[in-house]
Amino acid sequence: MSKTDRIWVIEPDIEALNGLHENTAVSQMGILITRVGPDYLAGQMPVDHRTRQPFGLMHGGAAALLLETLASAAANHCVNPETHICVGLELNCNHLRGVQEGTVTGVARAIHVGRSSMVWGLQAIDDQSREVTVGRLTSAVTELKR
């Protein structure tokens, strides 16, 4: 996929996406979508009492929730919402570095946008621009049942 390719069937609207996530696990963790690019969505999550595990580090599941949220939202903007939805098939994350405080920024970038599946590359970085989590989400493109 070229860096200049726009992949969106419907251009993601940051305000609408954040509104869609109200009263869900996403909003409870403080996750906000912050940026739309030609082939990616980005968002942020605080590392605080909601997102830490008992040893004071960001919980790996919280990082996975941030990244899957971004990739899932992105995937569903690459299909016609009147005829198709995208659902996650497989999520893989590797946690590279612990984070105790601050903000983690996640990015989900399209690797493959196909008619029946999509693959998204995932990256989370800390406030010092260090990678903390990397991963991949594979999504199935599913026809809506009428």
Q: What is the pLDDT of residues 116-146, one digit of tens each?
A: 999 999 999 999 999 999 999 999 999 998 7
- Split at pLDDT 50, 70, 90, the class of 25 is very high
Domain boundaries 14-143, CATH class: alpha beta
Judge contact between 130 and 92, C-beta under 8 A: no
pLDDT grade for 4, boundaries at 50, 70 and 90:
low
**Mean pLDDT over the full length of the chain:** 96
Q: Domain coordinates of the chain in residue numbers?
A: 14-143
Judge whether 68 counts as a catalytic residue: yes
pTM of the predicted structure, to 2 decimals: 0.94
- Tens-place pLDDT, residues 79-102: 999 999 999 999 999 999 999 999
State the catalytic residue, choosing from 15, 68, 82, 131: 68
The CA distance from 83 to 62, in Å, is 31
What is the model's pLDDT at position 145? 87
